Amino acid sequence: MKTFAEIDLIAPLQRALVDEKYEIPTPIQAQTVPAALSGRDVLGCAQTGTGKTAAFALPILDRLGKQNPPSKPNCPQVLVLAPTRELAIQIGDSFATYGKHLPIRHVMVYGGVSQTSQVRALSRGAHILVATPGRLLDLMNQGYIHLHHLQVFVLDEADRMLDMGFLPDLKKIIKQLPENRQSLFFSATMPPNIIELSQRLLTNPTSVNVTPKSTSVERIEQQVYHVERDGKRDLLKTILTRPDVDRAIVFSRTKRGANMLAQKLLLSGIKAAAIHGNKSQGARQRALEAFRTKQVEVLVATDVAARGIDIDGVTHVINYDLPAEPESYVHRIGRTGRAGAAGLAISFCGSDERSDLHAIEKLIGQKIPLAPGQPAPPPVSAQSKPADAPRGARGNSRHRHTPNSGPGPQRTTGRGSTEASATDGKPKPRRRRKGTQRRQQSGQASS
């Protein structure tokens, strides 16, 4: 396997990699960096946690470092599009880290905050612009961003971008890209609409595929506790106070649940913070920073808020509630075990969540082992849906409980306000039609 020292990157980048203690390129880097350095377009199938940010950031910085071009006001040479502000900020941070020995400027633009400082930064000139689609388009329409000097275009997490309803914005942005450019396209999954979009954007790309769903799953140790709702909180406290838990992310299905849980943990002396879509951008960043710097040991998160969180050294992911979408389980547990490190993912499964557990096990192609010392759970009740029931029915089996529908505890938290339904615009089989429309709008506005 090649080391970074053997890859033809300019000296300031090599120094930054040494500073970061990166020696061996991850698989996506090993394949993407040489192709992108040679000027090829790249179609990368990879999730966060695989090292894909450096896979595109290093060749971009290499190109700019060699050219050493002046930065022009409002005319970036590189555009990186990301679906969420958190991801945009992380990408910006990565450019700062890898480019710290280079005179390359980057600017980030994203919604949810005033545009004033972003406009000011753009007018001072930047080589690299990292943006979310909504705010980018806004600023382009106001004449603050022109793309005619663009050399490289990166689309990151393309599938998530379409899930969030950004396709119309994307199409408008793509129309303004110059013909002659390099394009690097990344997506965790490659459904037909993503392939179609990639064909529109890429010319004779090198295809790189490093994320068979199981890679991260295989590396992460998984355990399940069969525990009812009223026992979950005590179990959580017991686990979080174990000495092997250094940094943990606890997943809650709802924003309200995340808030309540964080408060209860704080009351019992565990330094916790909640992060979800109702929190302001500032509050989310503060919580992430506190977690990163270990002032906070436990982050209680909802699925959407946790997307793109890239913090090294998360030792434990705890699914306080199992996700309704089995794919979310893979995303959740991928917050631990970053870039080759080991991690432990613990799931709490109530009797009313048994069908969700089966759906997850079916997706990942393995049975999640019982936590050590745990007895086998009592048999599944007749009311639980089998794992191979139709997707809508299966994913929402819990929402269908009526007062007479089974022995599982009834959930009293507001189902209509799940995080996913509030912010990501992903069409899900839900009861309220109106809510779907609201989701779509807020997903776009949050860019």
- Which secondary-structure segment (H or E) carries 93? helix 85-98
**Does 50 sit near ligand AMP (CB under 6 A)?**
yes
Q: Please give the biggest Cα pair distance in the chain.
A: 70
Closest distance of CB 329 from ligand AMP, Å: 19
Nearer to ligand AMP, 118 or 336 (CB): 336
Residue from 31, 32, 53, 446 in contact with ligand AMP (CB under 6 A): 53
CA distances from 301 to 66, 135, 256, 304 (A): 42, 25, 11, 8
> Which of 48/447 has CB closer to ligand AMP?
48
CB 75 within 8 A of CB 146: yes
Compare residues 50 and 182 and give the one whose CB is closer to ligand AMP: 50
Q: Does 338 bind ligand AMP (CB under 6 A)?
A: yes
Residues in 19-48 that interact with ligand AMP by CB under 6 A: 22, 24-26, 29, 48
* Residue of the chain from 175, 312, 372, 404 that contacts ligand AMP (CB under 6 A): 312
| Count of other CB atoms within 10 angstroms of residue 361 | 17
Q: Which is nearer to ligand AMP, 24 or 342 (CB)?
A: 24
The region of 49-57, 102-110, 188-196, 282-290 touching ligand AMP under the rule CB under 6 A is 49-57
Compute the 3-state secondary structure of the chain and give helix, strand, coil in percent, each to the nearest 5: 45, 15, 40
**What's the number of CA atoms in the CB half-sphere (13 Å) around residue 356?**
25
User: To the nearest whole angstrom, how small is the minimum distance from the Cβ of residue 50 to ligand AMP?
Assistant: 5
Instruction: Give phi and psi for 275, each to the nearest 5.
Output: -140, 120
- At closest approach, how far in Å is the CB of 218 from ligand AMP? 17
Among residues 379, 380, 381, 385, which one has the least CA distance to residue 406? Answer: 381
User: Which of 16, 33, 45, 52: binder of ligand AMP (CB under 6 A)?
Assistant: 52
Q: Which residues contact 353 (CB under 8 A, 6 or more apart)?
A: 321, 322, 398, 408
Between 167 and 206, how does the x/- string for binding to ligand AMP read (CB under 6 A)?
----------------------------------------
Backbone angles phi, psi at 72, to 5 degrees: -100, 140
User: What residue ranges bind ligand AMP (CB under 6 A)?
Assistant: 22, 24-26, 29, 48-54, 310, 312, 338-339
